[in-house]
Amino acid sequence: MRKVFVIFVLGCLFSGCARKTEAEIFVDDLMGRMTLREKLGQMSQFVPQTGVVTGPEGEPVDLDALIKAGEVGSILNVKTPQEIESLQRLAVDSSRLGIPILFGHDVIHGCNVLFPINLASSCSWDMDAIRKSAELAAAEAAAMGIAWTFSPMCDVSADPRWGRVSEGAGEDPYLGAKIAAAMVEGYQGKDLSDSSSILACVKHFAAYGAPEAGRDYNTVDMSERMFRDRYLPPYKAAIEAGAATVMTSFNDFNAIPASANEWLLKKLLKEELGFEGFVVSDYKAVTELIAHGVAADAKEAAFKALRAHLDMEMVTGTYLNHGEDLVSEGLISEASIDEMCRRILLVKYELGLFDDPFRYGGAQRYAMAINSQAAFEHSRKLARESMVLLKNENDVLPLDSGEKIALIGPFASTPRAMIGSWTAFRDYDRTVTIEEGFNARFPSRVSVVQGCDVFTPVDGGISDAVRAARNADVAVLVLGFHGHLSGEAASVTSVELPQCQKDLLAAVKKVGKPVVVLLTTGRPMALESVIDDIDALLLVWHPGTEGGNAVADLVSGDHSPSGHLTMCFPRCDGQIPIRYNHKNTGRPATGIGLKSFDNISKSFQSCYLLTPNSPLYSFGYGLSYTTFEYNNFEMPKALDKD
Ligand code: BGC
């Protein structure tokens, strides 16, 4: 194919089309030889029957037949490097034009070695470390044959009921923008054709983090001003950092589903923001236009998505099934199909896939690149930096040397609680639990008791826990949620601790020993009802493969906690959504609405009866093992406008 290209370039130079880039010349030539159906094929992404499951099951497709017909532009969720290699071989050797397939996967917070969930790493406020985690994840993914990750998630959210807050950078658009850009830089590196860099994907465009009532996939209706102020900045920053792809969101945005939304995709993204890469739909989001109520059937869904300039369809194949008819009926112009297909082929060109379709992956490289020492070390460092010390009465932490520890709770020994969601290539054997981390750091000092299950008591659990606490100097409880209780399709109506965990905590507190809680969670939780039972509270999130070691690093005092919250922790469920940068209102609150129902004299302020407006722990909050004193503040004079 390269030979054809060289001849073509020379031809072009002499015929006056020299102003085009090398990539454009190549792609235009290729497209000149493609049928409409092949172009629609490039605009179609499929998932293999045996793939990783990241969405609802769909109609089975004969993937091999489609590949041979040259009708597959991209595949997501392939499980192994060997399968990727053989599917690529099929495309290159058996399809008419041999156009390489682009393989994508959700590499969200690490690939084989997992880093802390994204919300956690945002609490490090460490852009270099976040960039490096993306770079290390890209190196592992690329070695598997994956050339495209569906990350970073740039959805700002102030609603911890929404499970996907775990995948984002919290509630602040500015910080979110910085992190989004750092991640794009980490994944894509300086040169996309470098075989250890992969494509980033800015998702979910747009405003997916503001679903009504915190319910996943739910409707979003907001003013353009609010959108531009609070939600757009991270997407924009990622695009400005050079992200090559963007994914639409499942939600409708001001009454029009994002995947059919011309204003979002064409006007704002491509025209105003000047995005030059390509847009992929979310999983089945094109056929979901039917359930949204804006398309009568699959053909109309394809029409509306194409009309909105959604370049690639994920999973459902309606472009391929109906695109030719839409063109022949004059509903979609071939020129606009060309424009969309061209974007995809240009990105493939930039990746170097036409030079070498196998530049990603390869058995030998895979064996060498995954599970590197550098990745484990970075995972541990970033996990430490991500954890947030929320309470530390009487300096209970760090533990004194020699103290006997009762390690109690449903998450003390489970690797699942360490790694969070989006962990297709996890290796539980390499995941360090808190029990393992403690045993390594505090040998012969730890007794372990489960105490209760996540949502239910276990027989004798509380009495075992109480006994263990009595025989120890300090009780360390690992409470919260499993990793799979956050992430996609994991919205909840309450972010309080489950009752059985509260009961366990209260019983252990009564023993009278200092109580430390290590909170494993993918979302902010409402802790006011239990906070008095806790002497020290360390938010460990889902800290990744090295989680147990990182927790031990902090609890022992080998390192001091340094994380600061990027989402408010509410006092109770009723305060949600809650954010630090709320508007003032015409009646700002100076205190609590009503101190008690015995005294009904209202303040006529914007506040609640009985509950303060403020969160239990605000955005930016986080302690360390030392104290700081600030004094002699000076305010620089306002700059003279002249
Ligand atoms: C999620 C996306 C993800 C895609 C592919 C969808 O369900 O919303 O974030 O990238 O699946 O796995």
What spacing in Å lies between the alpha carbon of 438 and ligand 1's midpoint?
35
- Closest listed residue to residue 412, CA positions, set 342, 320, 501: 501
- What pLDDT does residue 9 have? 43
- What pLDDT does residue 94 have? 98
- What pLDDT does residue 482 have? 87
In terms of pLDDT, which residue wins out, 209 or 10? 209
- What pLDDT does residue 363 have? 79
Average pLDDT, the chain: 94
Largest CA distance in the chain: 90
What spacing in Å lies between the alpha carbon of 243 and ligand 1's midpoint?
17
What spacing in Å lies between the alpha carbon of 152 and ligand 1's midpoint?
12
Q: Which of 106, 155, 282, 535 is catalytic?
A: 282
Rounded CA-CA distance 79/102 in Å is: 15
Alpha-carbon dihedral 574, 578, 584, 590, rounded to 10 degrees: 50
SS3 183: helix
- What pLDDT does residue 639 have? 62
> Which residues are CB-contacts of 367 (< 8 A; sequence separation ≥ 6)?
none
Banded pLDDT at 590 (limits 50, 70, 90): confident
Task: Count how many Cα atoms sit within 13 Å of the Cα of residue 271 in the half-sphere of its side chain.
Answer: 9
For ligand 1, whether the C-beta of 167 sits within 6 Å is no
- What pLDDT does residue 602 have? 76
- What pLDDT does residue 596 have? 65
Rounded CA-CA distance 593/154 in Å is: 35
15-24, 210-219, 467-476, range with the lowest pLDDT: 15-24
- DSSP character string of 280-316: E--TTTTTHHHHHTS-SSHHHHHHHHHHTT--BEESS
Model confidence at 80: pLDDT above 80: yes
- What pLDDT does residue 627 have? 86
Mean local confidence (pLDDT), 176-198: 97
Tokens of 505: 């905590």
Banded pLDDT at 4 (limits 50, 70, 90): very low
Active-site residue, 282 included: yes
Rounded CA-CA distance 257/206 in Å is: 10
Rounded CA-CA distance 179/127 in Å is: 6
Mean local confidence (pLDDT), 488-516: 98
- What pLDDT does residue 428 have? 87
Interaxial angle between packed helices 298-307 and 318-328, expressed in degrees from 0 to 180 and rounded to the nearest 10: 80
What DSSP element (H or E) covers 246?
A: strand 245-248
- Closest listed residue to residue 574, CA positions, set 629, 493, 506: 493
381-421 tens-digit pLDDT = 999 999 999 999 999 999 999 999 999 999 999 999 999 99
For the CA of 249, the nearest atom of ligand 1: 8
Banded pLDDT at 641 (limits 50, 70, 90): low
For ligand 1, whether the C-beta of 438 sits within 6 Å is no
pTM: 0.95
Interaxial angle between packed helices 173-188 and 127-144, expressed in degrees from 0 to 180 and rounded to the nearest 10: 40
Model confidence at 219: pLDDT above 50: yes
Contact (Cβ atoms closer than 8 angstroms) between residue 274 and residue 266: no
Residue whose CA lies nearest to ligand 1 atom number 4: 283
117-126, 154-163, 326-335, 603-612, range with the lowest pLDDT: 603-612
